[in-house]
Amino acid sequence: MEEKKVLRVNLTKGTVKEEPINKEWMKQYIGGRGYATKLLYEELKKGTDPLSEDNILIFANGPLTGSSVPTGGRYMVVTKSPLTGLIASSNSGGYWGAELARAGYMLIVVEGKAKKPVYLWIKDGKAELRDAASLWGKDTHQTTDAILKELGDDKVKVACIGPAGEKLSRIACIINDKHRAAGRSGVGAVMGSKNLKAVAVKGSGTFKAANPEALKETLRAGMQKIKENGVTGEGLPTYGTAVLVNILNQLGSYPHRNFQESVHDEAEKHSGERLAETFLTGKSNCFACPIGCGRVTALKDKHGEGPEYETLWAFGSNCGVAELEPIIRANYLCNELGLDTISAGGTISAAMELYEKGYIKKEELGSGPELRFGSEEALVYWTEKMGKLEGLGAKMAQGSHRLCESYGHPEFSITVKKQELPAYDPRGIQGIGLTFAVSNRGACHVRGYLISPEVLGIPEKLDPWATEGKAQWAKIFHDLTAAIDSSGMCLFTSFALGADEYAEMLKHGAGLDLNAESLLVTGDRIWNIERLFNLREGLDPAKDDTLPTRLLTEPIPAGPAKGKLSKVKDIIPEYYKLRGWDAKGVPTPAKLAELGLK
Amino acid sequence: MTRVSFFGMVRDIIGEKETQIAGGDSVKSLLQALSERYGVSFGEKVLKTPERDMDLILLLNGRHIEHVGGLSAPVKNEDHLTVFPLVGGG
Ligand code: SF4
């Protein structure tokens, strides 16, 4: 197959054109997250309103997306986030990215704003914009089905937004293959602001490895490691991510009721074990994935995929809801309406606290159920209202930060850089708290999954309560993850694979001259260019690289981690230093020179 | 009697969610007592080796045993041991 290209789409002008891939950037940033961030950094004007036509939306494959490397089907969406005002960089699996690669492209760069709703249709090196007036208002499943019907081909892969993205919810996601989400930081709203409803792709190309023989050998060894590893070979395939519910709850670091507590007595009811006994009907994989952590589920009247661990927690424990059924229903709603489940759960949870403390008034609920912790009815109802931006739901759809600010109580928003925290209590797990605090895209667990050493003991067991050594671990995890996200592979492979293996795959697969060491340097470069982007957009490290006040001042009230507070402020100076940043969190000129960043 | 809870496939293998067991004053002796009670299913399928299989996550009162003394960590009557298979996710 011919070399892949960049597709540049200008929605204002209604043009599509091809560009070659910048080889130098590939060497420096690999592809995916790294390459797209470099492009955004070079092209986006400082201070651009994320929801204006001047923002740039990038869909970015890694060089290994669409190849036979294990989990080689991932893509990223990179843009300026309407939630955080900083870099947005959301990863998704499924089959869409691989299809884009087969159609001949590594990146789609979307500029401008269409006058009327459109969708982009790409087939084997040809692209066109098509009218999407009839799709506007449809949910992601209806949209996908309608596009497949219109194109007369049910093998076409679709990434699209639902009503939440159309109506510019700052926590809207992009859904591909109906069930997979580029979830975080409001990337769906950027798509909506451009009047771009969907991107449909079909391709028939095949992947051409730089060194097929050597790649084969690397793959054989890598596959064996994945199969033999307890997590990737057994734990994830058997239970998916949901099995974490009981572990985190038993550790007493499973946030409950908007982080007011950290043990949920009824967590077992929405655990992975219970899911397997009740609503689980099957498993699913992303492209080329030997792990297959996806869960297929069904309710009486609906079926779908998920919920994943994060979602079980966000709608379950964090909203005080015990039972699976309403959680599954809220999860399906998010996938259909196009909302990020972590931010949606975090926002409902914050709204429940605002309501119970008397700040949201009963009159504001209209005919909706009271926003009380534990209310299954409220969970489902308000998820739908948020996804459709109706009534109070419209306010909630802007995320918990803006919601809580509007009531004069920002302290109830459990966010970093305005993005809701994932499912781990940083008071009881110190290292993951550091990742939440310094992550370039706001609170995020997949920028450096320190849960792996701190809870699971991979690659070695670290004490979750200790702060020593965590800065060093975080830096390595952050750099490695940045490289994996740029390759087109899934982060879950890192339970089994190390920097050596990724470097080999990129070398033999994509012809990039990398080894373990230079791969980590590349990750470091990517992390730093994200940081430079954020600083240019006004990031204030002193104010923004931290955790919500609750986690610094209100100890966990009960359970195994009783009395614990996050000590992230003690770890950050060391982290900055290890990164080669000054005490204010700004990369030093020497560090930038070392990485070849001006 | 010490309370022991099982999760994930450990639960499937031995067919119980929770039990009370006597005869352990350390994590190690508790595991031995469990092996005696559940026989082959616990000893071979869960523990796999007589010492301890690295594929388990053992929490004593919500703390990973690594941080409270490992296999020789003392166990009291009112303690709670949770046995998880090695799992992961995010
Ligand atoms: S491990 Fe799970 S999320 Fe990752 S590629 Fe495989 S199925 Fe998709």
Overall number of domains in chain B: 1
Residue A68: closest CA among A201, A217, A207: A207
Considering only the beta carbons, identify the residue of B9, B62, B86 that sits closest to A456. B86
* A1 against B26, higher pLDDT: B26
Residue type, A349: S
For residue A472, CA distances in Å to A290, A434, A495 come to: 31, 11, 18
pLDDT at A2: 58
pLDDT at A1: 46
CA angle A325, A329, A332 (to 5 degrees): 140
pLDDT at B85: 86
Q: Which of helix, strand or coil describes residue A299?
A: coil
Considering only the beta carbons, identify the residue of B11, B55, B63 that sits closest to A273. B11
Q: Is A492 in contact with B64 (Cβ distance < 8 A)?
A: no
d(CA A530, CA A482) in angstroms, rounded, equals 10
Query: B13-22 burial, b if ≥16 CB within 10 A, otherwise e?
Result: bbeeeeeebe
pLDDT tens-digit series, residues A159-217: 999 999 999 999 999 999 999 999 999 999 999 999 999 999 999 999 999 999 999 99
d(CA A591, CA A32) in angstroms, rounded, equals 23
Residue A385, sorted as left (phi over 0), alpha (psi -120 to 50) or beta, turns out to be alpha
In the structure, what pLDDT confidence band is assigned to residue B90 with cuts at 50, 70 and 90? low
Residue type, A406: S
Neighbouring CB atoms inside 10 A of A159's CB total 30
Ligand 1 atom index nearest CA of A93: 8
CATH code of the domain in which B36 resides: 3.10.20.30
Count of helix runs (H) and strand runs (E) in chain B? 3, 5
d(CA B25, CA B76) in angstroms, rounded, equals 6
Q: Is A238 in contact with B88 (Cβ distance < 8 A)?
A: no
Residue B52 has pLDDT above 50, yes or no: no
pLDDT tens-digit series, residues A462-484: 999 999 999 999 999 999 999 99
**B90 inside domain:** no
> Side-chain half-sphere of B66: how many Cα atoms within 13 Å?
17
Query: A27-54 burial, b if ≥16 CB within 10 A, otherwise e?
Result: ebbbbbbbbbbbbbbeebeeebebbebb
d(CA A261, CA A559) in angstroms, rounded, equals 9
pLDDT at B42: 77
- Mean pLDDT of chain A, nearest integer: 97
Query: CB of B48 within 8 Å of any CB in chain A?
Result: no
Task: Extract the tokens encoding A522.
Answer: 């590349």
Give how far B55 is from chain A: nearest CA, Å.
Answer: 7
- What torsion, rounded to 10 degrees, do the Cα atoms A558, A561, A565, A571 define? -170
Which residues, 6 or more positions from B4, have their beta carbon under 8 angstroms from its beta carbon?
B18, B19, B20, B21, B30, B34, B80, B81, B82, B83
B 2-21 → A contacts, CB under 8 A: 5, 7-9, 11
Residue B9 C-alpha from the chain's centroid: 13
Helices (H), A338-441: 341-356, 376-388, 392-396, 400-406, 430-438
Judge whether A426 and A436 are in contact, CB under 8 Å: yes
Q: Which of helix, strand or coil describes residue A128?
A: strand
Query: Mean pLDDT over residues A368-388, rounded?
Result: 98
pLDDT tens-digit series, residues A67-123: 999 999 999 999 999 999 999 999 999 999 999 999 999 999 999 999 999 999 999
Neighbouring CB atoms inside 10 A of A278's CB total 14
Residue B83, sorted as left (phi over 0), alpha (psi -120 to 50) or beta, turns out to be beta
Give, for ligand 1, the residue of A490, A491, A497 to mutate: max count of ligand atoms closer than 8 Å to Cβ. A490
Q: In chain B, what residues touch A484 (CB-CB under 8 Å)?
A: none
pLDDT at A598: 78
Least confident of A250-259, A321-330, B45-54, B78-87: B45-54
Q: Is B85 in contact with A232 (Cβ distance < 8 A)?
A: no
For residue A195, CA distances in Å to A198, A334, B84 come to: 9, 20, 48
For residue A393, CA distances in Å to A136, A163, A258, A342, A387 come to: 20, 13, 18, 16, 7
Q: In chain B, what residues touch A561 (CB-CB under 8 Å)?
A: 62
**Distance between the two ends of chain B, CA-based, in angstroms?**
35
Residue type, A504: E
pLDDT tens-digit series, residues A117-149: 999 999 999 999 999 999 999 999 999 999 999
Question: Residue B56 belongs to what H/E stretch?
Answer: strand B56-60
In the structure, what pLDDT confidence band is assigned to residue B68 with cuts at 50, 70 and 90? very high
Residue A241: closest CA among A277, A271, A282: A271
d(CA A110, CA A204) in angstroms, rounded, equals 23
- Regarding beta strands A280-284 and A294-298, do their DSSP bridges make them parallel or antiparallel, or are they unpaired? antiparallel
**B35 inside domain:** yes
Name the β-bridge partners of A283.
A295
Give how far A65 is from chain B: nearest CA, Å.
Answer: 21
Residue ranges, comma separated, of all CATH 1.10.569.10 domains in chain A are 238-419
Residue type, A559: G
Q: What are the φ and ψ backbone dihedral angles of B16, each rounded to 5 degrees?
A: -145, 150
In the structure, what pLDDT confidence band is assigned to residue A339 with cuts at 50, 70 and 90? very high
Q: Is B90 in contact with A252 (Cβ distance < 8 A)?
A: no
Query: Mean pLDDT over residues B44-61, rounded?
Result: 70
Residues of the domain holding B77: 2-85
Considering only the beta carbons, identify the residue of B54, B67, B85 that sits closest to A235. B85
d(CA A30, CA A237) in angstroms, rounded, equals 29
Considering only the beta carbons, identify the residue of B9, B87, B90 that sits closest to A446. B90
CATH architecture of A238-419: Orthogonal Bundle (1.10)
Cis peptide before A307 (omega within 30 of 0): yes
Query: CB of B87 within 8 Å of any CB in chain A?
Result: yes
Name the β-bridge partners of A78.
A58, A89
pLDDT tens-digit series, residues A293-322: 999 999 999 999 999 999 999 999 999 999
Q: CB burial class (10 A; 0-12, 13-18, 19+) of residue B68?
A: middle
Give how far A251 is from chain B: nearest CA, Å.
Answer: 4
pLDDT at B45: 67
Q: Of 3.30.390.30, 1.10.599.10, 3.40.50.1000, 3.50.50.60, which CATH number belongs to A427-546+567-594? A: 1.10.599.10
User: To the nearest whole percent, how much of chain A has pLDDT over 70?
Assistant: 100
d(CA A506, CA A509) in angstroms, rounded, equals 5
CATH class of A5-202: alpha beta
d(CA A110, CA A194) in angstroms, rounded, equals 9
Least confident of A78-92, A333-347, B9-23: B9-23
Provide the whole-model pTM.
Answer: 0.97
**B26 inside domain:** yes
Query: Mean pLDDT over residues A388-393, rounded?
Result: 98
Residue B46 has pLDDT above 50, yes or no: yes
Q: What are the φ and ψ backbone dihedral angles of A125, each rounded to 5 degrees?
A: 80, 5
Name the β-bridge partners of A7.
A18, A108
Q: Quote the ligand 1 centre to A397 CA distance (angstroms).
A: 28
- Mean pLDDT of chain B, nearest integer: 85
d(CA A165, CA A144) in angstroms, rounded, equals 15
Q: Quote the ligand 1 centre to A238 CA distance (angstroms).
A: 13
Q: Quote the ligand 1 centre to A357 CA distance (angstroms).
A: 40
pLDDT at A480: 98
**B18 inside domain:** yes
In the structure, what pLDDT confidence band is assigned to residue B48 with cuts at 50, 70 and 90? low
To 10 degrees, what angle do helices A32-43 and A516-536 make?
Answer: 30
Q: In chain B, what residues touch A454 (CB-CB under 8 Å)?
A: none
Question: Residue A322 belongs to what H/E stretch?
Answer: none
Residue A392, sorted as left (phi over 0), alpha (psi -120 to 50) or beta, turns out to be alpha
- Regarding beta strands A5-10 and A105-111, do their DSSP bridges make them parallel or antiparallel, or are they unpaired? parallel
In the structure, what pLDDT confidence band is assigned to residue B50 with cuts at 50, 70 and 90? very low
Task: Extract the tokens encoding A45.
Answer: 């004007």
Q: Quote the ligand 1 centre to A27 CA distance (angstroms).
A: 26
Secondary structure E strands in A142-249: 157-160, 174-176, 180-182, 196-202
**B9 inside domain:** yes
pLDDT at A238: 87
In the structure, what pLDDT confidence band is assigned to residue B54 with cuts at 50, 70 and 90? very low
pLDDT at B51: 46
Q: Which residue of A has its CA nearest to B11?
A: A273
Cis peptide before A459 (omega within 30 of 0): yes
pLDDT at A493: 96
